[in-house]
Amino acid sequence: MDDLRIRAALPEDLDAVLAFWKVAAEGTSISDDRNGVERLVARDPEALLLAEQAGELVGTVIAGFDGWRCHLYRLAVDPGRRRLGIGSALLAAAEERFVRLGGRRGDAMVLKENETAHHAWRATGYAPEERWRRWVKPLTD
């Protein structure tokens, strides 16, 4: 893992990120398109973190902070490189960012059926908080 590099995504990375998510991320999001990711990076240039090895994209996480809460989305690791510490390194970088910004607690969006992800999140100290339920309303068709 000595050659693992974590950095913020640049606008020129976005097509590669979207292609990577089709292979490495579970499920889809209403914002998984070029416009959605461009808005994210334009609004908060440090929110989308990329993990690279030898210049190749091997992982992502979105570490969004709205001034009140720290939100984690799209933790994805190349399927052939899982269980090597890439996800943990991404989460550590996200948590460092949150602390630097004054955040107090990270919360993660994790698909209920994604058992593999549950193990990864638990291994880094996260746990489900059953007393809350996410309520959603799409704002576009």
pTM over 0.85: yes
* Domains of the chain with CATH codes: 4-123 (3.40.630.30)
**What would the pLDDT profile of 18-66 be if each residue is shown by its tens digit?**
999 999 998 777 778 999 999 999 999 999 999 999 999 999 999 999 9
Check whether 93 has a pLDDT greater than 70. Answer: yes
Top pLDDT among 139 and 107 is at: 107
Question: Looking at residue 14, what is its pLDDT?
Answer: 97
Q: Which of 13-17, 113-117, 121-125 has the lowest mean pLDDT?
A: 113-117
Check whether 17 has a pLDDT greater than 90. Answer: yes
Residue 68: HSE in the Cβ half-sphere, 13 Å Cα cutoff: 0
32 touches 23 (CB < 8 A): no
57 touches 10 (CB < 8 A): no
Question: Looking at residue 1, what is its pLDDT?
Answer: 64
Question: Looking at residue 114, what is its pLDDT?
Answer: 87
